[in-house]
Amino acid sequence: MQRSSATADGKRVFLTGASSGIGLATARALIECGCQVWGTSRQIARLPTGLENFHPIALDLTDEGSILTGFSKAQSEAGGRFDVLINNAGGGWFGPALQMPTSDLREQFQTLVFGPLALIQLALPAMRAASPPRGLVINITSLAAKLPLPYAAAYSAAKAALSSFSATLRMEEADVTAAGAIRFVDVQPGDICTDFNRALHMPDALRDPAAVVADPAIAAAQRTLHVSNHDVDTGPSPDFIAQHLCRIVQAANPPVVLACGTFYQATLGSLAVRFLPARWLERSIRQHFASR
């Protein structure tokens, strides 16, 4: 794959969730602009093979031992430090919040919050020790962090938590190293055309969208899932987000927060969060998911 002359040339990137969707597209795009990418998956066999400058790493964000072992192995291969950490891996549980098993709730936060924070804690010491200190952490959160999705309560809450952590870390790091030496970027995609919805964990009653159910919460979740599937299937491709991430990696002064997706979601949705009263915003979201 031919390299460009972009400023990302030669950067060492640690990328979680690199086996499919946004992660795989990002790995390919970063390699094209000259980066070395250490990409992770719980199942290493799912990672691409024969891709120049791609280094497969087995890592399970629900297993603290796997996080430490996988990152340590990758960082050693990278010469002791990464220039960029991209927390991308994720997954979701869909269904009425009151029916969500506690074990699934804990796993959701482990994957989307505690796992990424553990990787940040592992990556930052070497970034700080560089001469001069430098590094970039990109947390892939979601527009759901500020536009909560009905029947995806844990996912929305976990993404909001990681988004808030990103802002806090950015302020704290400015007190430790020179302001801007280590940057934290919160990337908030909307619906992207991936297999994310097909991999959702959900109650068995939701797996058949044509099933007639007596539970009104499940019936409402069915309608919401139908609209959500349409939004995902008609959303931008993963390459759209991958190109945004490449530009952030190349930028001398990247944005601190970037909402990206369709005009309706990323632009109008962000404006709605800023200007609509909470009651109106929630009503608008509910009306959207009842629109089809």
Catalytic residue annotation: 155, 159
Strand order from edge to edge, sheet including 54-58? 54-58, 36-41, 12-15, 84-87, 135-140, 182-189, 257-260
Residue 219 CA to residue 86 CA, distance in Å, equals 37
* Relative orientation angle of helices 102-109 and 153-176, to the nearest 10 degrees: 30
> Both tokens of residue 268?
């109008």
Distance (Å, rounded) from C-alpha 255 to C-alpha 88?
Answer: 17
Residues 6+ apart with CB under 8 A from 245: 26, 29, 30, 86, 138, 187
Q: Are strands 182-189 and 257-260 parallel, antiparallel or unpaired?
A: parallel
**Cα(141)–Cα(160) distance, integer angstroms:** 7
- Cα gap 175→66, rounded to integer Å: 31
